[in-house]
Structure 1
Amino acid sequence: MYAYMALPDHVIDVIDGDAIVLQSTEANAKKVEECLVATIKIGVSCSVDSPPQRMEIEIVVYELQRILDVLRNI
Protein backbone atom coordinates (compact mmCIF):
# COMPACT_ATOMS: atom_id res chain seq x y z
CA MET A 1 0.00 0.00 0.00
CA TYR A 2 2.89 2.35 0.79
CA ALA A 3 4.38 1.86 -2.67
CA TYR A 4 0.99 2.40 -4.31
CA MET A 5 0.51 5.67 -2.42
CA ALA A 6 3.96 6.83 -3.53
CA LEU A 7 3.13 6.50 -7.23
CA PRO A 8 4.05 8.31 -9.38
CA ASP A 9 5.45 11.45 -7.75
CA HIS A 10 6.91 10.16 -4.48
CA VAL A 11 8.82 7.07 -5.58
CA ILE A 12 12.01 8.59 -4.20
CA ASP A 13 10.44 8.18 -0.74
CA VAL A 14 10.31 4.37 -1.08
CA ILE A 15 13.60 3.63 -2.83
CA ASP A 16 17.27 4.10 -2.10
CA GLY A 17 17.97 7.63 -3.25
CA ASP A 18 21.56 6.68 -4.10
CA ALA A 19 20.23 5.03 -7.27
CA ILE A 20 19.37 8.52 -8.49
CA VAL A 21 22.17 10.55 -6.89
CA LEU A 22 24.94 8.37 -8.28
CA GLN A 23 23.96 9.03 -11.90
CA SER A 24 26.44 11.06 -13.95
CA THR A 25 23.89 13.34 -15.59
CA GLU A 26 20.48 14.74 -14.79
CA ALA A 27 19.09 13.01 -17.89
CA ASN A 28 20.37 9.65 -16.63
CA ALA A 29 18.94 10.34 -13.18
CA LYS A 30 15.55 11.06 -14.76
CA LYS A 31 15.70 7.80 -16.76
CA VAL A 32 16.56 5.82 -13.62
CA GLU A 33 13.71 7.47 -11.74
CA GLU A 34 11.29 6.63 -14.57
CA CYS A 35 12.48 3.02 -14.51
CA LEU A 36 12.02 2.84 -10.76
CA VAL A 37 8.48 4.22 -11.08
CA ALA A 38 7.70 1.63 -13.77
CA THR A 39 9.17 -1.19 -11.65
CA ILE A 40 7.14 -0.21 -8.60
CA LYS A 41 4.00 0.04 -10.74
CA ILE A 42 4.61 -3.53 -11.90
CA GLY A 43 5.12 -4.69 -8.31
CA VAL A 44 1.93 -2.98 -7.18
CA SER A 45 0.00 -4.42 -10.11
CA CYS A 46 1.28 -7.93 -9.36
CA SER A 47 0.23 -7.71 -5.73
CA VAL A 48 -3.39 -6.66 -6.21
CA ASP A 49 -5.69 -8.73 -4.00
CA SER A 50 -7.81 -10.01 -6.87
CA PRO A 51 -5.81 -12.31 -9.19
CA PRO A 52 -7.87 -11.43 -12.30
CA GLN A 53 -6.94 -7.76 -11.81
CA ARG A 54 -3.19 -8.49 -11.66
CA MET A 55 -0.95 -7.69 -14.61
CA GLU A 56 -0.55 -10.66 -16.95
CA ILE A 57 2.86 -12.30 -16.72
CA GLU A 58 3.57 -11.73 -20.42
CA ILE A 59 3.10 -8.00 -19.91
CA VAL A 60 5.26 -8.11 -16.77
CA VAL A 61 8.08 -9.75 -18.73
CA TYR A 62 7.73 -7.28 -21.60
CA GLU A 63 7.74 -4.27 -19.26
CA LEU A 64 10.72 -5.55 -17.25
CA GLN A 65 12.65 -6.13 -20.48
CA ARG A 66 11.82 -2.60 -21.63
CA ILE A 67 13.08 -1.23 -18.30
CA LEU A 68 16.25 -3.29 -18.58
CA ASP A 69 16.87 -2.00 -22.10
CA VAL A 70 16.59 1.60 -20.90
CA LEU A 71 18.97 0.97 -17.99
CA ARG A 72 21.50 -0.76 -20.23
CA ASN A 73 21.64 2.32 -22.43
CA ILE A 74 22.55 4.67 -19.60
Structure 2
Amino acid sequence: AIEQGREEGRLVMQGLISRQLEGKLGAIPSEILEGIQQLSLDQLEALGVAMADFTTSVDLSNWLRDNQ
Protein backbone atom coordinates (compact mmCIF):
# COMPACT_ATOMS: atom_id res chain seq x y z
CA ALA A 1 0.00 0.00 0.00
CA ILE A 2 2.82 2.40 0.83
CA GLU A 3 4.67 1.55 -2.38
CA GLN A 4 1.49 2.06 -4.41
CA GLY A 5 1.03 5.46 -2.77
CA ARG A 6 4.59 6.46 -3.64
CA GLU A 7 4.06 5.43 -7.27
CA GLU A 8 0.81 7.39 -7.47
CA GLY A 9 2.58 10.41 -5.98
CA ARG A 10 5.41 10.04 -8.49
CA LEU A 11 2.93 9.99 -11.39
CA VAL A 12 1.12 13.08 -10.10
CA MET A 13 4.41 14.94 -9.63
CA GLN A 14 5.59 13.84 -13.06
CA GLY A 15 2.45 15.26 -14.67
CA LEU A 16 2.67 18.51 -12.73
CA ILE A 17 6.33 19.06 -13.56
CA SER A 18 5.74 18.25 -17.24
CA ARG A 19 2.94 20.82 -17.42
CA GLN A 20 5.03 23.44 -15.61
CA LEU A 21 7.94 22.84 -17.97
CA GLU A 22 5.67 23.18 -21.01
CA GLY A 23 4.33 26.44 -19.61
CA LYS A 24 7.85 27.75 -19.05
CA LEU A 25 9.67 26.36 -22.10
CA GLY A 26 6.95 25.64 -24.66
CA ALA A 27 6.37 22.26 -26.28
CA ILE A 28 8.64 19.57 -24.84
CA PRO A 29 9.96 16.96 -27.32
CA SER A 30 8.62 13.45 -26.73
CA GLU A 31 12.08 11.98 -26.04
CA ILE A 32 12.54 14.48 -23.21
CA LEU A 33 9.09 13.66 -21.80
CA GLU A 34 10.05 9.98 -21.90
CA GLY A 35 13.17 10.82 -19.90
CA ILE A 36 11.04 12.60 -17.30
CA GLN A 37 8.79 9.53 -17.07
CA GLN A 38 11.81 7.43 -16.07
CA LEU A 39 12.75 9.61 -13.09
CA SER A 40 12.34 8.46 -9.50
CA LEU A 41 10.38 10.52 -6.98
CA ASP A 42 13.62 11.97 -5.57
CA GLN A 43 14.82 12.88 -9.07
CA LEU A 44 11.48 14.53 -9.85
CA GLU A 45 11.79 16.62 -6.68
CA ALA A 46 15.29 17.69 -7.74
CA LEU A 47 14.01 18.55 -11.23
CA GLY A 48 11.22 20.61 -9.70
CA VAL A 49 13.83 22.73 -7.92
CA ALA A 50 16.28 22.90 -10.83
CA MET A 51 13.72 23.92 -13.44
CA ALA A 52 13.49 27.41 -11.94
CA ASP A 53 16.85 28.10 -13.62
CA PHE A 54 15.93 26.65 -17.04
CA THR A 55 15.50 29.06 -19.94
CA THR A 56 15.40 26.58 -22.85
CA SER A 57 14.67 22.91 -23.44
CA VAL A 58 18.44 22.47 -23.85
CA ASP A 59 18.80 23.25 -20.14
CA LEU A 60 16.24 20.53 -19.42
CA SER A 61 17.99 18.05 -21.73
CA ASN A 62 21.32 18.74 -20.06
CA TRP A 63 19.80 18.28 -16.60
CA LEU A 64 18.26 14.95 -17.62
CA ARG A 65 21.56 13.78 -19.12
CA ASP A 66 23.44 14.67 -15.93
CA ASN A 67 20.86 13.33 -13.45
CA GLN A 68 19.51 10.07 -14.85
TM-score (norm. length: structure 2): 0.41
TM-score (norm. length: structure 1): 0.38
Q: 1 or 2, which has the higher helix percentage?
A: 2
The answer to which structure, 1 or 2, has the higher relative contact order (CA under 8 A, 6+ apart) is 2
Greater Rg by CA: 1
